Structure 1
Amino acid sequence: VAKLAADGSLSLDKTLADYLPDLAGRIENADQITLRMMVQHRSGIPNFTDAEGWDWFASQTDIDKALELVLDKPADFAPDARYSYSNTNYLLIGRILDNVLGYSHQQYIADEILAPLGLTHTYSLLSQVNYDDLASGYWYEYDDDLRQLDHVIPGGSMIATAEDVGIFLRALNDGSLLNDDEQAIYSSIYEYEHTGWVPGYHSIARYYEDMNTVVVQFVSTTGGDTWGTANIVGGKATGISTIIYNRIVRILSR
């Protein structure tokens, strides 16, 4: 978004109704919700992954079907009234990007971000990855391996190694990915304050400017009390958090 806003292809202050007029009558406040609000999760559009009928344990690749879960539903709040994370924003932004570009935003990301940074282990779709190379994902007291689950684009479909995530975050913050105009726009609309989660997987990544260092944490088990927030045995917390917070798997330097 920042790159396309910088070259004039996008306007952060145009509304959802401007970009997707076919949805104007089906999303409340579409004529007031700007692209900036969607990027910042201040749109008030309901989150389709919280909607009745959404199944986290089934592959979900139909964007229209996902959107139908929140169309014609009341807004969660007035536009720009507050922050509330909603994956629906990403589905709508993806559709806007496709329309503006005239081709898929996944291809744009591959050409403008992945290729220049040499991110050869980052993918937009599960179908692009060798299944045997994927880390298995598990849910507490659930027998199936969850790595076969696909997720709707672009609300959680991307797959990457921890190393590629680290390279990307460093480049995003040290100026090597965006030019000055793009960086200024990026800094004005984004605040880095989010983790990643789908059933079977949890990730946290953070860039430390003072050390020019990225710390990336991937976990392949979720559900129940696997995070160890309340599981106390013998006065000590148990669970995944006690393992990952005390273990450095690999240190990379680039």
Structure 2
Amino acid sequence: MQKNRTKLIFRVILLSSTFISMFFVPWILVWAWILPLPNTVQEQLVEALDHDLDGIIVYVDQAGKPAEFYAAGWHDRKKEIPAYPQAIFKIASITKLYVAVATAKLVKAERLSLDKTLAEYFPELKDRIENADKITLKMMLQHRSGIPNFVDHPDFWIKPPKNKQETLDYALDLPADFEPDKGYGYSNTNYMLISDLIDKVVGYPHQQYIRQEILQPLGLKNTFGSLDELSEQQIEQLMSGYYVGVDKDFKTENTGLMLATAEDVGIFLRALNDGSVFNEGEQEIYSSVYVYKHTGLLVGYQSFAEYHKDIDTVVVQFNNTTDFNGYEWNLAEIIYARILKILRNNSNE
């Protein structure tokens, strides 16, 4: 009798727990995933708006076919300007791909060394970054340095940094996340320091070096090193960025990261993957230190850029809505996966 009662109580608890779990499931994500797959990319973008995304841009470059451009939603919600594919966008951490390519070029030119340490390049930081005398440039490129990520500092979001030095300060004088080359930890601090190192080595801003060595040879005229490079007209072409629950447009927030059109990112990504962005000997160096795809996230901006070998296609997706709980990011991932499935289905027809 007691045994049966215990089983009954356990079943009630289990059912209650299941009900509570289902109640808190982000149904917007489940619904976005299980909906019937549209036949076209444009239909998928329009459907995405039903999930409360403000605006979305997609660029598709499939080998042997003309590039395809898609957009839906708002470019500027307040001014009621519809989204359009040629808009400029904050590409956030996709910037790291350009910085890594620039580094590979400088290593091949023997102006940088993958084996040289952080302490050698920045002696002033030797006592402010743990293991600086053991952390190599290669480890920083691979996110294997153990240097804390400045965005993880508890004060970063409470007291946002006003300049690069304040940003770096959020990563200084802290214990290492792990011993150099003994783990992996994605850290924006790594690439901020690498960008500063390029400045130091070439004697001028790394954005200029990237423009001269990467953008100009590829004919990319709609890629910019930072918000400071945009004219007033180009700022109008910059897609607005929104954060759920905040009545503000984040497009004028200067993060110091790159901006570009989806087409420019797509052309760069194609060149990165087919090797045409490199001179002789540079691609081997790059392949030893970094990846060939990336995503990006800033307040108001989400970006995805990847080459898919099975269909020989580059797909770039920009979304201008973010939130605190990460639903918008997960939603954007689902939309990207569904777009990719549509492209694969169409390529098999």
Q: TM-score, normalised by structure 2?
A: 0.63
Q: Distance in 2 between matches of 1:143 and 1:52?
A: 24
How many aligned positions are there?
235
Give the Å deviation of 1:68: 0.9
Matching residue within 136, 147, 160 for 1:34: 136
1:1-254 alignment, distance < 5 Å: 1-55=103-157, 60=161, 62-129=163-230, 130-151=234-255, 153=256, 157-192=257-292, 194-223=294-323, 224=325, 226-227=327-328, 229=330, 246=338
Aligned AA for 1:141?
Answer: G
Q: Distance in 2 between matches of 1:228 and 1:173?
A: 25
- The structure whose Rg is larger is 2
Q: Distance in 2 between matches of 1:169 and 1:46?
A: 28
Q: Of the two structures, which has the highest relative contact order with CA contacts closer than 8 Å and spacing of 6 or more?
A: 2
Equivalent position of 2:14 in the other structure:
none
Identical amino acids, percent of aligned pairs: 52
Aligned AA for 2:236?
Answer: D
- Whether the 8 Å CA contact 2:322–2:329 is kept in 1: the answer is no
Q: Distance in 2 between matches of 1:114 and 1:54?
A: 32
Return closer, same or farther for 1:146/1:25 CA change in 2, 3 Å cut-off.
same
Aligned AA for 1:182?
Answer: E
- Whether the 8 Å CA contact 2:304–2:318 is kept in 1: the answer is yes
Give the Å deviation of 1:208: 1.9
- Whether the 8 Å CA contact 2:294–2:306 is kept in 1: the answer is no
Q: Distance in 1 between matches of 2:138 and 2:111?
A: 14
Return closer, same or farther for 1:246/1:191 CA change in 2, 3 Å cut-off.
closer
Question: Unmatched 5+ residue regions in structure 1?
Answer: 230-238
- Whether the 8 Å CA contact 1:57–1:199 is kept in 2: the answer is no
Aligned AA for 1:203?
Answer: S
Give the Å deviation of 1:227: 2.5
Give the Å deviation of 1:36: 0.2
- After TM superposition, the runs of 4+ consecutive aligned structure 1 residues lying more than 6 A away are none
Q: Distance in 2 between matches of 1:243 and 1:100?
A: 41
Give the Å deviation of 1:180: 3.1
Aligned AA for 1:26?
Answer: R
Q: Distance in 2 between matches of 1:107 and 1:160?
A: 15
Give the Å deviation of 1:209: 2.9
Deviations 1:93-112 (A, max 9, x none): 11111111111111100101
Q: Distance in 1 between matches of 2:169 and 2:137?
A: 20
Return closer, same or farther for 1:220/1:56 CA change in 2, 3 Å cut-off.
farther
- Whether the 8 Å CA contact 1:56–1:199 is kept in 2: the answer is no
Q: Distance in 1 between matches of 2:120 and 2:308?
A: 38
RMSD: 2.2
Aligned AA for 1:11?
Answer: S
Give the Å deviation of 1:63: 1.2
**25-34 or 200-209: which moved more?**
200-209
Deviations 1:105-137 (A, max 9, x none): 111001011111111111111122222111111
Q: Distance in 2 between matches of 1:140 and 1:57?
A: 20
Q: Distance in 2 between matches of 1:225 and 1:71?
A: 28
Question: Unmatched 5+ residue regions in structure 2?
Answer: 1-102, 344-349
Q: Distance in 2 between matches of 1:92 and 1:246?
A: 36
Return closer, same or farther for 1:32/1:228 CA change in 2, 3 Å cut-off.
closer
Deviations 1:127-181 (A, max 9, x none): 2222211111111111101111111x4xxx1011111110001001112110230
